[in-house]
Amino acid sequence: MIFFLLLHSHVLSLKHRVTSFHGKEVIKPLIFFLIGLVFWTGTFIIFYRVLGYFQSIESLGDFLAAKLLSMVFLVFFSFLIFSNIITSLSTFYLSQDLQLIFSLPLSLSEIFFARLVDTILKSSWMVLVFGLPVFLAYGTIYHVSFFFYGLCLLVFIPFLMIASSVGVIITMTLIHFFPAHRTKDVLFVLSIIFLVFLFLLFRFLKPESLVDPERFASLLDYFAAMRSFSSPALPSFWATECLLPSLQSSYKGSSFFYFLMLWITSLGLLVTGNQVAARLYFHGWSKSQESRRLRLSQSSFFNRTIDVLVWPFSTPTRVMIEKDLKVFFRDTTQWSQLLLLLSLVIVYLYNFKVLPFDKSPIPSFYLQNLFSFLNLGLAGFVLAAIAVRFVFPAVSMEGEAFWIMRTSPFSLKKFLMNKFWMSLIPLVVVAEILTVMTNYFLKATLFMMIFSSITIFFMTFGITSLGVGMGAIYPKFKHTSSAEIPTGFGGLLYMMYAMGLIGLTVVLEARPVYILFTSHAQHTNLPLWFYGELGIALFFIGVINIVALVLPMRYGLKNLSSLEGLG
């Protein structure tokens, strides 16, 4: 069939990507594979232990395992629908090869089915890979035969087909009303707002209070809440009902009926999708080719603010800052990332505000200062998480237009330093707000407040330099969205180095700070050797931070200077 031929091109590209790895290039996929393996094994162990624990609860165990399975399917289904909407925007509307495909003598149905299979594969492989340990854990705990795994496969095929068809139909309908480029932006922002909302809601519901025995609701309420997870109208419910009888012999259900429901619905949706495509697809695709015009105000408050901000600098530096700020704030994906960052900071600060020191058996003076010290590491981690999103991509954000910088009389060193200062200033502000606010909430001593503020101030230099430098060592100029820049190997390596820097700094400071607090609490004088130890610790902290400041920028500059291509 034609659509196998169309898919074949994707298979070939994948094959070439895999076979082209050699030498050092093997390291990247290997590290990703190992991380995947750790995640995979972790998922298996967690499910195995949870299910094992359920088994130990008499009479309730099977019920809980069944409900967990139903929740897993519901989560998969929601994730798959969303992932299919996003993927199908690319595969059906924005993909470069569509120009060629639409010019070939292919029927719309052939194109539709080829793209649908492409969408299913691209959007579902992750669910399959990470879903497998869940089902393996069920299989191991319930000692099932191979029939169960075969059945899983037969259930997953229509399950994925349903999610994909629904996703694609939603996309085609959306594109009918909005242009494709806009839809992608809007969906991305909406999804992030949705995530932020869920995250904040979850945090403010105080899940920790659930383990408080005084707040245990009645068992009936608990069952009622559990029931709300499954609606018989959803394919996730049908999939659960298909698998349960082969897991639990005591489970009475009409497995075959739901199996048929899954297959009939999936085939029905394929036909429906094809019908919808016949009416909407070509029209929508054609519309997505049209460019959009966006008129921007020239005398806005935003532009005037930028003019004031950049006033003290030389003209070339000024225009670089102006350009970076405009590009940053006009990119909708950056807005959504800013929202995520804001929610992260709010939740972080909120957690410190609600720490119940009054209930603790340990004197709160110790705890407050201990937390204040640990906060250094945590705030560092938050900063690294922010930096990997905003600082690491700074160089790559130039995109394929980087040739302009490289052929201009603006030196690459100046370019990198510009990126460094532009990232450092907002990061220092966030770092100091985080540290001072948390210390305030913790009611830490003035010494701790000043000590953490100074440490985090200098640490931010290292975190920023690592971000800009690593971003220059592993640039991703060919990206479709700024959100994808930190997702590669460089981003991962950056996080590892940044964590190393933060961890080492905190560890080196730990002992002197401990001695200082003990002597303060016991009202004793500090021993003389303490000053020697403090000096050594500060020396090493200085060395580590200077290395983090200098080396990444130097290597980054070297890499950018020797880059070939782009232009």
Partner 1 sequence: MIELINLTKKFATLTAVDNLNLKINAGEIFGFLGPNGAGKTTTIKMMVGLLKPTVGKVIIGGRDISKEPLEVKKIIGYIPDRSFLYEKLTAREFLQFVAGIYGFTKKECSDKINSLLRLFGLEEWGDELIESFSHGMRQRLVLSSALIHNPKVIIVDEPVVGLDPKGSRLVKTVFKNLTHAGVTIFLSTHVLEIAEELCDRIAIIQEGKVIALGTMDELQNKVNCKDQGLESLFLRLTGGEEVSESIDALKLPVR
Stretch that binds partner 1, among 108-116, 266-274, 484-492, 558-566 (CB under 8 A): 558-566
Nearer to partner 1, 173 or 408 (CB): 408
Question: Does 203 interact with partner 1 (rule: CB under 8 A)?
Answer: no
And the tokens for 526? 């500090």
Could you give the string, one character per residue 279-318, with x where binding to partner 1 holds by CB under 8 A and - elsewhere?
A: ------------xxxxxx-x----------------xx-x
Contact at 8 Å (CB) between 175 and 134? no
Nearer to partner 1, 410 or 555 (CB): 410
Residue 555, CB half-sphere, CA atoms under 13 Å: how many? 15
Q: Which residues contact 468 (CB under 8 A, 6 or more apart)?
A: 391, 392, 394, 395, 416, 419, 420, 423, 552, 553, 556
For residue 426, which of 534, 342, 511 has the smallest C-alpha distance? Answer: 342
Question: Does 179 interact with partner 1 (rule: CB under 8 A)?
Answer: no
Stretch that binds partner 1, among 140-148, 226-234, 326-334, 441-449 (CB under 8 A): 326-334
User: Which of 173, 305, 411, 480 is the binder for partner 1 (CB under 8 A)?
Assistant: 411
Q: Which residues contact 346 (CB under 8 A, 6 or more apart)?
A: 200
Query: Which residues inside 458-497 make contact with partner 1, applying CB under 8 A?
Result: none
Residue 506, CB half-sphere, CA atoms under 13 Å: how many? 20
Nearest distance from C-beta of residue 291 to partner 1, angstroms: 4
Angle between helices 412-442 and 332-353 (to 10 degrees): 30
Structure letter (DSSP) for residue 230: -
Q: How many residues bind partner 1 (CB under 8 A)?
A: 34
Nearest distance from C-beta of residue 140 to partner 1, angstroms: 50
Stretch that binds partner 1, among 226-234, 324-332, 494-502, 515-523 (CB under 8 A): 324-332
Contact at 8 Å (CB) between 452 and 435? yes
For residue 237, which of 256, 260, 220, 262 has the smallest C-alpha distance? Answer: 262
Nearest distance from C-beta of residue 389 to partner 1, angstroms: 18
Q: How far apart are CA 27 and CA 504, in angstroms?
A: 26
User: Which of 410, 461, 489, 530 is the binder for partner 1 (CB under 8 A)?
Assistant: 410
Q: How far apart are CA 62 and CA 44, in angstroms?
A: 18
Residue 239, CB half-sphere, CA atoms under 13 Å: how many? 28
User: Which of 145, 407, 481, 487 is the binder for partner 1 (CB under 8 A)?
Assistant: 407
Nearer to partner 1, 404 or 521 (CB): 404
Question: Does 5 interact with partner 1 (rule: CB under 8 A)?
Answer: no
Nearer to partner 1, 289 or 360 (CB): 289
Nearer to partner 1, 213 or 409 (CB): 409
Question: Does 319 interact with partner 1 (rule: CB under 8 A)?
Answer: yes
Nearer to partner 1, 275 or 407 (CB): 407
What type of residue sits at position 351? N
Question: Does 254 interact with partner 1 (rule: CB under 8 A)?
Answer: no
Q: How far apart are CA 455 and CA 278, in angstroms?
A: 63
For residue 71, which of 251, 242, 208, 227 has the smallest C-alpha distance? Answer: 227
User: Which of 401, 496, 521, 543 is the binder for partner 1 (CB under 8 A)?
Assistant: 401
Structure letter (DSSP) for residue 58: T
User: Which of 81, 327, 378, 504 is the binder for partner 1 (CB under 8 A)?
Assistant: 327
**445 Rama sector, left if φ>0, alpha if ψ -120 to 50, beta otherwise:** beta
Nearest distance from C-beta of residue 566 to partner 1, angstroms: 7
Question: Does 566 interact with partner 1 (rule: CB under 8 A)?
Answer: yes
Helix (H) or strand (E) holding 143: none
Nearest distance from C-beta of residue 93 to partner 1, angstroms: 16
Where do contacts with partner 1 occur on this chain (CB under 8 A)? 291-296, 298, 315-316, 318-320, 322-323, 326-327, 330-331, 399-401, 403-404, 406-411, 562, 564-567
